[in-house]
Amino acid sequence: MATLNKTPLIWAGVAASMLLLAGCEKSSEPAPVSFKMDVMPILSKHCYECHLPGGEGQVASGLDMSSYEMLMKGTKYGAVIRPGDSASSTLSILIEGRADPSLRMPHGDRPPLTEAETKIIAEWINQGAKNN
């Protein structure tokens, strides 16, 4: 009876296993965050009440969040977003509560952004704060 050489079969199994495992690896690149689809709904939910033209926050600070262009314009004190750098962006600092508690956004009894919402905005900023 002929002896079957099992070495090629073993190597084929190893190669197949490696291919399967390679397909399971997580990408180190986060998924792109869309301003229109991901960020605007969060701003609408938490910020529009005060930061649309004529709103209390818009009148006080000059920050109008009605469009990408207006958001990027910032306040009468300067930009609130530094594309590529959420850690230094005023918007992130205020919604994450890294500033004085009296400055945390949103103000008053309004519920804060969830951790997931905060991360979406930070990731959008870190990805360049694109109008996408």
Query: How much is the pLDDT for 27?
Result: 60
Q: Give me the residue spans of the domains in the chain.
A: 35-126
Name residue 129's amino acid. Answer: A
pLDDT average per 10 residues of sequence, the chain (132 residues): 55 49 61 97 96 96 97 97 98 95 90 97 98 98
DSSP string, 64-121: --SSHHHHHH-BTTB-S--TT-GGG-HHHHHHHT-S-GGG-SS-TTSPPPPHHHHHHH
Query: How much is the pLDDT for 11?
Result: 52
Predicted model pTM: 0.78
Residue in the block written with tokens 């190669």:
15
For residue 70, give the nearest of 93, 87, 53, 85 by alpha carbon. 53
Q: How far is CA 69 from CA 79, 83, 91, 99, 130, in A?
A: 11, 13, 15, 25, 11
